[in-house]
Structures are given as structure tokens and as C-alpha cells.
Amino acid sequence: MRFLTAGESHGPELTAIIEGVPSQLPLTEEDINEHLARRQKGYGRGRRMQIEKDKVRITSGVRHGKTTGAPITLHIENKDWTHWTKIMGVEPLSEEEEQEVKRKITRPRPGHADLNGAIKYRHRDMRNVLERSSARETTARVAVGAVAQKLLKAFNINLCGHVLEIGDVVSAQPHFTSVGGLKEVTESSEVRCADKDASEKMKRAIDEAKENGDSIGGIVEVIAENVPVGLGSFVHYDRKLDGKIAQSVLSINAFKGVEIGLGFEAARMKGSQVHDEIAYEEGRGFYRKSNRLGGFEGGMTNGMPVVVHGAMKPIPTLYKPLQSVDIDTKEPFTASIERSDSCAVPAAAVVCEAAVAWELADAFLDKFGSDTMDDIKKHYEDYVQEARRF
């Protein structure tokens, strides 16, 4: 499968085209809207989230509730667009209009894409950078991930993204019996954290950052269960699925770190404390006695739950000024204030879930074929039985 997204933060809409989804997969707009709504929730977001009511419109690749195998086109309207029609218009402006909307952005925010993007594309108005570098794009990625999740769910593969840390507040590791249970708990929490005490502390940490004109980051975890052994491959660098997941997670706006299983902690431990012992049980087949490696060995899934962590830096746009330099006057200034989130870690957990879902679904189709759900199901069931008997 592959996908492209397009659209600016304050343009009319976000669009995604997905190619390679098999035919006969049941899919409705509501399947996607559910995830779009989840991404919009979460403590610490700014005023923009009160304006947007993200809903998808499917205009191709689905007929009467099922995919056809043709490219799927998804559209999500930006409600805020009505306030930006002049500033974001496609047609050239008259001189008068130009005067009216002339509010060039010349003051780059430390930590955002503004300055590098302006130099690279030679823009003297950094709006041309911020519009596309904005994490508004993650709406499209979540929509695409929702399609991937629908496919995985047909094979009982379930995912959940949740918050482990915000600032210096750390959640006790969740004790979940199933991703379903974890999902329920985290969806009812404003910070999407399964630890009730930590959730309250996280909210206070967000409030405190906001009161101080500051922002705050955190760590999210995505767990996927019932993933079959053998997705991805060891034979070539760009077929290693853990590597693909890492790329996908790091490409989410503001994500600066990714771990599979113990991740960085494994580097500080002895081999005997890290590697998961192998066991065998009639009917179940091979399994690991623990899951410190997060479901991966040799770039392939090993049948244990996939566990991915992503670290999000604090949001760059700050009410508390940081120093920067105007690209026109070359004068130093302290950053101008724009509307902004103070913490988007709970929302980012949903984005991270979508990123992992996409990579798993893509690897799944690589292994089991990609034309029609019936063929894939046959192939999958044969393989799972074989693997159990191996």
C-alpha cells in the first residue's frame, strides 16, 4: 500500500489518497470519524480544536460500504478555512487585496520548520512553510491509519496508543488484559493515560506549563496484539519492519525519539536480562516467556505484542518569548505570540497509533497478498495454522 496526503493547515481541506487497499473490506466514513474524533480530544490543546469538527468524506474506492480495490480518496474539511479565504487563496491578488492581507510572517519560531523551510524554498513569507509543516496534517494520517486499523481488525489485530509520560509525570505501567480494555480506560481519561493518579498530575503539569507561557512534551506507547509471527523481513534493510515503524513514528511532528520494547534501556542491561526466552506449547506453538524486545527480532514480528514508544518534544510555539531574528530586518526579537497548543501528547498518541497501524497493515499485505479480503483470509489462516504446528 502507499498513500499521499495534501492540504494546508488553513486551506479548504486535507486530502489523502490510499492505493493498494484490498477489495471487499467493509469500510464506512464512521470507521474513520471515530479515530478523527479521538485525535481531537485531549487536555492541553489550543482554541483551534474548538473550531474544527473533523469528519471524513470518502469520494472514491468504496461502494456500498465495501472497498473496491481502487484508490481511496479521503477529504477532511478545515472549518477554520472560512476565516482564511483571502490569506490562503489560490488566485493572484489585486494590489488592493494584497495590501489588505499583507501580513507576511518574517519571524521564525525556534523549534518549528519556519526558518529552515524559508531558506530551503526561498520564501520571504514563512506562512508558505508553516501551513504545510503544521501538525494539522496529522488529521490526514489518522484517517489513513483508520483504514489500516479496519483491515487489521478483520484479522483480530488490535492497537491502542496511550500516554506514558507528560513532562516529569510518569504513569505506572498499565496492567491491561487486552488492548480493548486499555482503549476504554484511556479514552475516558483527558490525557489518555491509564493511571488515574498520574492523569491528574499530568493535567496539573500541563496547566502549570500553560500558566507559565510554556509548553510540555511527553512519551506515548502503542501496543498491537495478535500480530502474527513473520511480518517484515531480515533480508534487506528497507524490509525490516521495526525500522519502518521507527521512520514512520519519527516523521510525526515534534517526535524526537522512538523505541521498540525496552529500547534505550536495553543498552544498559545484560543480555540475559534483555532477551526473551523461547518456549513451546502444543496448540499454541512457539512463544516468548517475556516481551522485552517489544515483539521484534531480526526486523520481523515474533508473535508477541508489538510495543512502540515515541518521545514528543514540547510544542515550539510559546507564549513565553524565546529569542529569534526577523528574516527581513535581521533584528533580534522575542517570538511573537500565535494561537497554539500547550501540550498535544494525548492527541499524538492517536497519531502514533495510526502510524504503527499503517506499517503493520502494509507489512501484513506484503505477506498475505493484497487483492481481495477472501484470498488474504485463506492465505492468513493457512499460515497461522502452519506456524502453530511448526
Interaction between residue 301 and ligand EPS (CB under 6 A): no
Interaction between residue 33 and ligand EPS (CB under 6 A): no
Q: Which of 341, 353, 359, 362 binds ligand EPS (CB under 6 A)?
A: 341
CB 39 within 8 A of CB 139: yes
Considering only CA atoms, which of 132, 284, 160 is closest in space to residue 222?
160
Q: Exposure string (b/e) for 225-257, b if CB count within 10 Å is 16 or more?
A: bbbbbebbbeeeeeebbbbbbbebbeebbbbee
Q: Which of 5, 106, 149, 340 binds ligand FMN (CB under 6 A)?
A: 340
Cα→Cα distances 286→103, 379, 388, Å: 63, 20, 7
Q: Which of 195, 276, 341, 359 binds ligand FMN (CB under 6 A)?
A: 341
Instruction: State the DSSP code for 122.
Output: T
134 among annotated binding-site residues: yes
Q: Which of 48, 127, 192, 244 binds ligand EPS (CB under 6 A)?
A: 48
CA distance 152 to 148: 6
Q: Which of 12, 20, 46, 230 binds ligand EPS (CB under 6 A)?
A: 46
How is residue 189 written as a grid cell? 481519561
CA distance 187 to 349: 11
Q: Which of ligand EPS, ligand FMN, none does residue 348 bind to, with CB < 5 to 8 Å depending on kind?
A: ligand FMN
Q: Which of 17, 37, 115, 135 binds ligand FMN (CB under 6 A)?
A: 135
Nearer to ligand FMN, 37 or 135 (CB): 135
Q: Which of 62, 351, 357, 373 binds ligand FMN (CB under 6 A)?
A: 351
Diameter over CA atoms, the chain: 79
Which residues have C-beta within 8 Å of that of residue 387, sequence separation ≥ 6?
228, 229, 230, 285, 303
Q: Which of ligand FMN, ligand EPS, none does residue 9 bind to, with CB < 5 to 8 Å depending on kind?
A: ligand EPS
CA distance 256 to 249: 9
**Which residue type, as a one-letter code, is found at position 141?**
R
Interaction between residue 118 and ligand FMN (CB under 6 A): no
How wide is the angle at C-alpha 233 spanned by C-alphas 231 and 238, nearest 5°?
115
Nearest approach, Cβ of 345 to ligand FMN (angstroms)? 8
- Quick note: the x/- pattern for ligand FMN over 96-115, rule CB under 6 A, is ----------------xx--
Nearer to ligand FMN, 114 or 362 (CB): 114
Nearest approach, Cβ of 109 to ligand EPS (angstroms)? 9
Nearer to ligand EPS, 242 or 341 (CB): 341
In DSSP terms, which residues pair with 166 in a beta bridge?
A: 169, 218
Instruction: State the DSSP code for 81.
Output: G
Options 30-38, 44-52, 179-187, 270-278: segment touching ligand EPS (CB under 6 A):
44-52
The position carrying cell 516523521 is 251
Positions that interact with ligand EPS (CB under 6 A):
9, 46, 48, 52, 134-136, 138-139, 253, 338-341
**Residue list, annotated binding site for NADP(+):** 39, 45
**Residue list, annotated binding site for FMN:** 132-134, 253-254, 298, 313-317, 339
Positions that interact with ligand FMN (CB under 6 A):
46, 112-113, 133-135, 138, 252-254, 315-317, 340-341, 344, 347-348, 351
